[in-house]
Amino acid sequence: MTFLGYTFWYDRDRFGRADRYLVGVPSGQAVVRFRAAVRRVVTTSRGQVPLPALIRQVNRMLRGWGAYVSFGYPRRAYRQVNAYVVTRLTKHAKRRSQRPCRPPAGLSWHTYLTTQLGLELL
């Protein structure tokens, strides 16, 4: 059953007891909608926005969505969203101008975005 961005079901006990418990995870549709919201913010028409300002806006979105879907078992949804955000920001930084942005020597894009530009992942 899907309700308010979560998918719920009853699962059996991990230890073999006869008990069943309610499991809640962020629904796939909620992840798709959040990715669409990130896509609307990190788009080619926002190329003039400075990268730190764009990352601050994405951080605000990530904190809000992460707080909402923190109930249950959100780890898989967090991984999907984090991978999407890093990929989207990397592509955006590479296409910003005639001289694309590059991370300093010895740093990956993930490390550059999180440590030097301040991207806060879930």
Across 83-93, average pLDDT? 96
Across 80-108, average pLDDT? 92
| Separation of alpha carbons 14 and 7, rounded Å | 19
Nearest to 3 by CA among 63, 69, 58, 98: 69
Question: What digits encode the pLDDT tens for the residues 17-73?
Answer: 889 989 999 999 999 999 999 999 999 899 889 999 999 999 999 999 999 999 989
pLDDT score at 16: 85
Question: What digits encode the pLDDT tens for the residues 95-122?
Answer: 987 778 899 999 999 999 999 999 999 9
Q: State pTM to two decimals.
A: 0.90
Break the chain down into helix, strand, coil percent, rounded to 5: 50, 15, 35
